[in-house]
Amino acid sequence: MTATAPREEQLWSRCAGCATLLYRKRLRRNLDVCPECGVHARLGAPDRLRQLADPGSFRPLPDRPVDVDPIGFVDVVPYPHRITAARAGTGLAEAVLCGTAALGGHPAVLAVMDFRFLGGSLGCAVGELITRAAERALDDRAPLILVTASGGARMQEGVLSLMQMATVSQAVAALREAGLLTISVLTDPTYGGVAASFATNTDVVIAESGARMGFAGPRVIRQVTGRALPEGFQTADFLLRHGQVDMVVPRRALRGRLVALLAATRAGRAPAAATQRIPVPATRPAVPRQPAGGAPGPTAADPWATVRLARHPGRPTSLDYLDAAFDGFVELHGDRLGGDCPAVVGGPALLAGRPVMVIGHQKGHTTAELVARNFGMASPAGHRKALRLMRLAARLGLPVVTLVDTPGADPGVGAEEQGQAAAIAENILALTVLPTPVVAVVTGEGGSGGALALAVADRVLMLQHAVYSVISPEGCAAILWPDRSAAPEAARALRLTAPDLHRLGVVDEIVPEPAGGAHDDPDATARTLGDAVRDALLPLLDVPAATLVRRRRQRFRRFGAAGIGARTGAR
Q: What CATH homologous superfamily does 43-274 map to?
A: 2-enoyl-CoA Hydratase; Chain A, domain 1 (3.90.226.10)
Q: Are 338 and 381 in contact (CB under 8 A)?
A: yes
Neighbours of 88 (CB within 10 A): 8
**What is the CATH class of 299-564?**
alpha beta
Binding residues: 15, 18, 34, 37
State pLDDT tens for residues 313-367: 999 999 999 999 998 887 888 877 778 889 999 988 889 988 889 999 999 999 9
Region 3-25 average pLDDT: 66
CA distances in angstroms from 353 to 258, 275, 364, 470, 516, listed in the order given: 54, 39, 27, 36, 31
Q: Which pLDDT band, with edges at 50, 70 and 90, does 110 fall under?
A: very high
pTM of the model: 0.79
- Which amino acid is it at 144? L
Question: What pLDDT shows up at residue 478?
Answer: 87
The answer for residues whose C-beta is within 8 angstroms of residue 451's C-beta and 6 or more apart is: 162, 404, 406, 408, 442, 445, 468
State pLDDT tens for residues 380-432: 999 998 998 898 888 888 899 999 999 999 988 888 888 889 899 999 999 99
Region 536-549 average pLDDT: 94
Per DSSP, helices labelled H in 397-438 are 413-417, 420-433
Q: Is the pLDDT of residue 270 over 70?
A: no
Q: Is the pLDDT of residue 123 over 60?
A: yes
SS3 515: coil
Binding residues for Zn(2+): 15, 18, 34, 37
Q: Are 109 and 144 in contact (CB under 8 A)?
A: yes
User: Which DSSP string do the residues of 60-75 spell out, in sequence order?
Assistant: E-S--PPP--TT--BS
State pLDDT tens for residues 514-528: 988 999 999 999 999
What DSSP state is assigned to residue 185?
E
HSE at residue 311, side-chain half, CA atoms within 13 A, is: 12
Look at residues 222, 261, 266, 239 and name the one whose alpha carbon lies nearest to residue 52.
Answer: 261
Positive or negative, the Cα torsion across 479, 306, 326, 295?
negative
Return the top range by mean pLDDT from 200-204, 227-231, 282-286, 341-345.
341-345
Residue 459 pairs with which residues in a beta bridge? 439
Q: Which pLDDT band, with edges at 50, 70 and 90, does 310 fall under?
A: very high
State pLDDT tens for residues 25-36: 777 777 778 777
Q: Is the pLDDT of residue 294 over 50?
A: no
What DSSP state is assigned to residue 248?
E
Residues 358 and 345: their CA atoms lie apart, in Å, by 8
- Domain locations in the chain? 1-41, 43-274, 299-564
